[in-house]
Amino acid sequence: MSSSPVNNTAAQPVVAKLSEATLARFDREVAKYPADQKQSAVMACLSIVQQEQGWVSGEAENAIAAHLGMAPIAVREVTTFYNMYNQQPVGQFKLNVCTNLPCQLRNGQAALEHLCQKLGVDNGGTTADGLFTVQQCECLGACADAPVMLVNDRQMVSYMSHARIDELVDVLKAQAK
Amino acid sequence: MLDLSKFQSQGVETCFHDRHIKPQIYAGLNGSNWHLQDYEARGGYQALRKILDGDAAMPGGMTPDQVIAEVKASGLRGRGGAGFPTGLKWSFMPRALPVQKYLVCNSDEGEPGTCKDRDILAFNPHTVIEGMIIAAYAMGISVGYNYIHGEIFEVYERFEAALEEARAAGYLGNNILGSKHSFQLHAFHGFGAYICGEETALLESLEGKKGQPRFKPPFPASFGLYGKPTTINNTETFGAVPWIIRNGGQAYLECGKPNNGGTKIFSMVGDVERPGNYEIPMGTSFAQLLELAGGVKGGKKLKAVIPGGSSAPVLPASVMMDCTMDYDSIAKAGSMLGSGAVIVMDETRCMVKSLERLSYFYTHESCGQCTPCREGTGWLYRVVNRIEHGQGRADDLALLDSVAESIMGRTICALGDAAAMPVRGMLKHFRDEFAYHVEHKTCMVPQYV
């Protein structure tokens, strides 16, 4: 275990320094809940960190724990329970492809395979240039639009025929940073 | 944000079509008219005004008891899957108890096949907001949350924007429209966990924890969010309430059939020509619904239908074609109406392959809390997987029966049952197909050989 991002049992946990802007976003979420229930904002805070940093590091978990008055392990439990949190860095564009039965009946599995083949990665893999990560996923709740994919957790794309997948890859490459 | 507009669904195929029958929630929507002023132009927030201020028929407004009586009279039943009578649920709330109480909307729409709540929240969010305000009034609740499926993040943002509009107009907040009633409503998003659609797992998640279901009793009405009395309803259930208050419970009941009031939105998915959401009166025949969706794709023959989301037992075409789309008819046929997702499968589909995918889903999404589910869903998947891949053993069907039996009714929540029921349904109606797979190490459906 050389450069594990996991927060180990060191006496003093490493805490990420979060910007004022990030903390302001946290506080907008915290304000939704009773004063003694700040923990309710943990899922939103984790997704904010993921949006800004691309993944949830142990240091970021510690910073959220400190901000919400939670034990770091309680934050870790949330990160590891929910499918969409990235526990390791991913490509600049994370593409989740639904292959559940309703999507499978409308070529969801073929869409995943086509995307993997086009990018030269296996399911779960990231392209060598760090641009794309492809992951099979469970129901996105858009079954009538199948095949469907989720881009970076927040934008859904629909009716993804092979031709549209090819186009999507081009469009994303053009918007890469 | 990335510019992906050309790839995004606009709702034309799924919601803004003319193939609904007597729609209430989806009536008159076009994608751009989701704003508050558009909703008001459609008669929105009139139900709330009727309750608070009264109208010609009810000059003094409506008491909470009158609101609950109206909802009971409507025959509205929970649209999330269980079909529990909504008015009855509301009457369980200990209204007079002097503690903080909570109202929660379950928009964690992750039951494979279902995508109706997404379109309600994206294109008619104020009907859910108004329904929640009315429910809060009826139950004496001052704080509410809408828990939205994390995967539809744009819809969560849309709902937040609608909340801002409602606050600015005085429909949400303190002393709504000058009344003594106050209600604060907020949006919450999940982040990928099917189990959070289960109401007590949802509450755990809302408290910032792993979404592991709670043992019931106590039920949420006595011990819910933060341990306080809580009522949880589905998005479509709340969305139906303003219409009921405006037009009366009797009128709602009459659009459906006895014990199955109102309209229901069905997500027609899988092998149909026009996948999408269809709002139709309860009790409409399945044959008519299939026709609305353009029939089976490519003119193929219908083989089977999973009528209520992936957790519902599959029904063969012959049985399904005799069903009407309501709780009682589908239950009588041996399945359940569930969330209203109708997964259509044509004659070329292999049932083993289909069940393999579903079983993978349940083992992936089991929260791990109860042994029969955590271990049993894995057994189900592995056995179906080996049958699908030509490695089935002679006693595998009996093994599947046994594992399914060992899960059913032995877990804290319904996910275990939800994993076992599709297996039982498949083995009941398509046992020959599984047996053929085991014996011949290949599929009897020509396409897969």
Which CA distances in Å does B173 have to B40, B121, B144, B184? 18, 20, 11, 5
**Containing H/E element for B405?**
helix B396-407
Minimal CA–CA distance to B377: which of B369, B338, A97, B309?
Answer: B369
Q: Could you give the CA distance from residue B129 to residue B76 in angstroms, rounded to a whole number?
A: 18
Spatial separation of the C-alpha atoms in residues B380 and B423, rounded to whole Å? 8
Query: Any idea which of A8-17, A94-103, B269-278 has the lowest mean pLDDT?
Result: A8-17
Backbone angles phi, psi at A20, to 5 degrees: -60, -40
B298 touching chain A per CB within 8 A: no
Q: pLDDT value at position B58?
A: 75
A25-46 pLDDT, tens digit per residue, is 999 999 999 999 999 999 999 9
Give per-residue pLDDT as tens, B274-333. 999 999 999 999 999 999 999 999 999 999 999 999 999 999 999 999 999 999 999 999
Identify the band that residue A11 occupies on the pLDDT scale cut at 50, 70 and 90. Answer: low
Mean pLDDT of the residues in chain A: 94
Q: What is the pLDDT of residue B78?
A: 95
The tens digit of pLDDT for each residue in B125-170 reads 999 999 999 999 999 999 999 999 999 999 999 999 999 999 999 9
Q: Which among B17, B19, B25 has a CA at the least distance from the CA of B42?
A: B25
Within chain B, how many helices (H) and strands (E) appear? 18, 9
In chain A, residues with a C-beta closer than 8 Å to the C-beta of B100 are 34
Q: Would you place residue A5 in the very low, low, confident or very high pLDDT band (cuts 50, 70, 90)?
A: low
Helices (H), B112-219: 116-123, 125-139, 153-168, 199-206
Q: What tokens appear for B192 in the block?
A: 């990928």
Q: Which of A169, A148, A168 is nearest to A157 (CA)?
A: A148
Q: Does A42 sit within 8 Å of B7, measured CB to CB?
A: no
CA angle B198, B204, B209 (to 5 degrees): 130
Residue B227 in contact with partner chain A when CB distance is under 8 A: no
A143/B153 CB distance under 8 A: no
Confirm or reject contact between B210 and chain A (CB < 8 A).
yes
Contact of B283 with B260, CB cutoff 8 Å? yes
The model's confidence at residue A8, banded by pLDDT at 50, 70 and 90, is low
Residue A63 to residue A71: CA distance in whole angstroms: 11
Pairing of strands A132-137, B302-306: unpaired
Asked if the Cβ–Cβ distance from A34 to B270 is below 8 Å, we say no
Query: What letters, b where the CB count within 10 A reaches 16 and e where it falls short, cover A122-156?
Result: eeeebeeeebbbbbbbbbbbbbbbbbbbbbbbbbb
CA angle A18, A19, A23 (to 5 degrees): 80
Average pLDDT over residues A130-140: 97
Please report the pLDDT score of residue B445 as a whole number.
Answer: 85
Query: Which is it for strands B302-306 and B341-346: parallel, antiparallel or unpaired?
Result: antiparallel
Q: Answer yes or no: is pLDDT of A6 > 70.
A: no
Tell me the longest C-alpha to C-alpha distance in chain B: 74
State whether A102 and B211 contact (CB < 8 Å): no
Average the pLDDT over A73-102 and give the result.
98
Residue A9 pLDDT class (50, 70, 90 cuts): low
Are residues A140 and B152, on separate chains, in Cβ contact within 8 Å?
yes
Q: Identify the closest residue of chain B to A176 by CA–CA distance.
A: B2
Residues of chain B below pLDDT 50: none
**Please, which residues have CB within 8 angstroms of residue B33's CB and are 6 or more apart in sequence?**
B39, B42
Reply yes or no on whether the pLDDT at A4 is more than 60. Answer: no
Residues B102, B141 contacting (CB under 8 angstroms): yes
Residue A1: what pLDDT?
A: 41
Mean pLDDT of the region A56-77: 97
CB contact under 8 A, B115 and A141: yes
Chain A residues with beta carbon closer than 8 angstroms to that of B186: 32-33
Chain B environment of A44 (Cβ under 8 Å): 188-189
Please give the model's pTM, rounded to 2 decimal places: 0.96
The reported pLDDT for the residue numbered B57 is 74
Q: How confident is the model at residue A10 (pLDDT cuts 50, 70, 90)?
A: low
Residue of chain A with shortest Cα separation from B109: A141
A70/B208 CB distance under 8 A: yes
CB of A144 within 8 Å of any CB in chain B?
yes
| DSSP letter (8 states) at residue B309 | B
Question: For A84, which of B9, B113, B192 is closest by C-beta distance?
Answer: B192
Cβ atoms within 10 Å of B361's Cβ, excluding its own: 25
**CB-based contact A78 B208, cutoff 8 Å:** yes
Cβ separation of A84 and B211 shorter than 8 Å? no
User: pLDDT band for position A2 (50/70/90)?
Assistant: very low
